[in-house]
Amino acid sequence: MADVALQSEVTGTVWKIEVKAGDAVEADQTLVVMESMKMEIPVVAPRAGTVRRVLVAEGEAVAEGQDVVVLA
């Protein structure tokens, strides 16, 4: 299966990273939690797979549509 880049749905700050490279994840598992306007918005896995790379750090400002995780 091809790698897929998961993107932030909002402009905000990376509040919490729940996974690291090499982790196996299930479909709908929360990978990263974004914070925007005091709301928490999860970035979830669209399918089961393995985290290839985490492209952001906790506390980092992220733009809407920016890649945050690559899933294999």
* Per-residue pLDDT reduced to its tens digit, 46-71: 999 999 999 999 999 999 999 999 99
- pLDDT band at residue 13, thresholds of 50, 70 and 90? very high
Query: Whole-model pTM?
Result: 0.92
The answer to whether residue 15 scores a pLDDT higher than 90 is yes
Instruction: For residue 32, give the nearest of 72, 66, 3 by alpha carbon.
Output: 66
How high is the mean pLDDT of the chain? 96
Write the class of the CATH domain 4-71: mainly beta
CA distances 72 to 17, 20, 26, 30, 46, Å, are 17, 13, 12, 16, 11
